[in-house]
Amino acid sequence: MENRSYGNRGRREETSEDLRQKLRRIDHRGYPAYKDLRGQYDFGGYRLFIDHVQGDPFAAPSHVSVHLSGRQAGFPGEWLEQDCRRIALQDELLRRFGRAIGKYSRQAGGSGKSGVLSCSRPGQEILERSACQFDPKSGALTVRFLVGFPAAGRTVLAGELEKILFNWLPACVEEALLFSRLPAEKLKAVCDLADDQEALRNEVRRTGLVAFVADGSVLPRESGISQRPMKNAVPFRSPEEDRVTFKLPHRGTVTGMGIPAGITLIIGGGYHGKSTLLNALERGIYNHIAGDGREFIVTDRTAVKIRAEDGRCVNRDDISLFIRSLPNGKSTADFSTEDASGSTSQAASCVEAIAAGAGCLLMDEDTCATNFMVRDSLMQRIVSPEEEPIIPYLSRMRALGAEGVSTVLVAGSSGDFFRVADRVIQMNQYVPRDVTKKVREILSENGVEAETGEPECGKDRSVRESGTRRCPQAGPEFRGRNGRGPKSKVLGPDGFMIGRGTVDLRGVEQIADSEQLESLCRELIRAAEHGMDGRTPVKRLAEEMESEIRKTLRSAAGDRPVPGNLAEIRSLEIAAAVDRCRMLRWK
């Protein structure tokens, strides 16, 4: 992501014929002549904006957008009144427009990126994006995309661009963005699904559940690199003991497994679906498109997946809840390191997530630090508690629950977790069974008493308050050069670079799309320039950044020059990125 000029919005609006004449005047001139095209043009059925022109045919393609008034687009106003409907409809139109322009991409002649036509490519999750935005009041529709302006070497091929802008693009607009040309029933089904998903989330929250998995859901994914549903997968069927029923406005009755607040263990043999269920729950913070198989899997939107991250940086975290002391005398009440171990990284991630507002922690034993999670009785007899600085997560689970932090844990190697669990779900060939009663009976037979109380954390302050003193300040890497701000680059969904510094987010597993990091990176630079003064706690800073990203996305519903590669992201992921940013200074 680079700082770019998105054209001169002060120019008068010209007609499509003006654009045609410009193209013919610059034909076969040097590539910089394309810069003269920046501006806005009335094509009758829509307005075309050429916001940013690439420097040469081998550079990133030019930024172009189309704007349709509410009358031109023609979508029913009631479909845009609720955010859930509007976002789902935007997502559907963007997918349709992407397929439409994809048929013409690279069909124009030229070298380099000549003739490239592309826009955002959503995955299985439905996100609000700047690439496609409705104004909910007027019904106006804006779609942003990329066009590779054609050239032979560095010589303008205006005739090829004329084909793109005057022949192919109007056909794509007509095919994908005009309500009168689209299947109304299919679009209504998209809006109805969004209504049902929002209603289900509200019901899950109202009934005190942290998650719900509908009967018939398809949990397994196509492969390790694909989020598409696996063909011929075993459909989910909830245990009778955990089955709950909700009535949705369009679908009607839906049944499934409810996971209540508290401590839930997911157990079972290897390859029987434990991690698959947890993965579905971690992505349940997002709505999913029809046919995904997870349309009616919803998880508390404050749920955070936690794992060990060897080597991550930690900045002024109070991890004393889990680690009392360190052999080198380093304080764990104000702990910093550039190279955290598995246990210290996971301790830091837990307290950071809770301080940022997490209401449920999702963990898979396979990706956790074993010594952080549990210490069995034999190990405690050999290495006494006085000699072991780590207070395992097992010992803090109920105390965290008393403070409103639930845990959903995949466990496969230690039965010690059974005594603190409120509910135990066993996966057997992808079919869940509630074995809570069986576990309690076995514990009783072996003289082990289940812990059902609500112990305190043993401190005078809430765990949630531990992060209130952690206030980051922008380091010199954010200054850039010549007053232009730093250069930045998003590295897929795994992280981003600012200047020469890299923020590694591979351990933040609920980031679903690289465009979320485009938003985060852009906003982090803005915050560093205007508000990261070392006096604002991480939680408030992240919430303010999320609010600014939301404002940017809302303002994209019009002809404001906004990049077309931004997407919504939770404050919880923003806080996680701030916590892992080595270019910040901490007070």
Q: Hey, what are 163's tokens?
A: 């084909």
Write the CB contacts of 445 (distance below 8 Å, at least 6 apart in sequence): none
Containing 412, the helix (H) or strand (E) segment is: none
Secondary structure, 3-state, 331-390:
CCCCEEECCCCHHHHHHHHHHHHHHCCCCEEEEEHHHCCHHHHCCCHHHHHHCCCCCCCE
Report residue 376's pLDDT band, with 50, 70 and 90 as the boundaries.
Answer: confident
Which is nearest to 579 in space by CA: 368, 404, 355? 355
pLDDT at 2: 41
Query: What's the burial of 226, exposed, middle or buried (CB within 10 Å: 0-12/13-18/19+)?
Result: exposed
For 330-343, write each residue's pLDDT tens digit. 889 999 999 999 99
From CA 524, how far away is CA 337, in angstroms rounded? 22
Domain boundaries, the chain: 14-182, 303-465, 472-586
Return the structure tokens found at 189: 């089904």
Q: What does the pLDDT read at residue 455?
A: 57
3-class DSSP state of 228? strand
Q: What is the pLDDT of residue 457?
A: 53
Residue predicted with more confidence, 269 or 457:
269
8-state DSSP, 480: B
User: Taking all residues of the chain, what is their mean pLDDT, rounded to a whole number?
Assistant: 93
Read off the pLDDT of residues 426-474 as tens digits, 9 standing for 90 and up: 999 999 999 999 999 999 999 888 876 555 554 444 566 655 679 999 9
pTM of structure = 0.94
In tens, the pLDDT along 484-512 reads 789 999 999 999 999 989 999 999 999 99
pLDDT tens, position by position, 381-408? 788 777 789 999 999 999 999 999 999 9
Q: Label residue 73 by pLDDT band (50, 70, 90).
A: very high
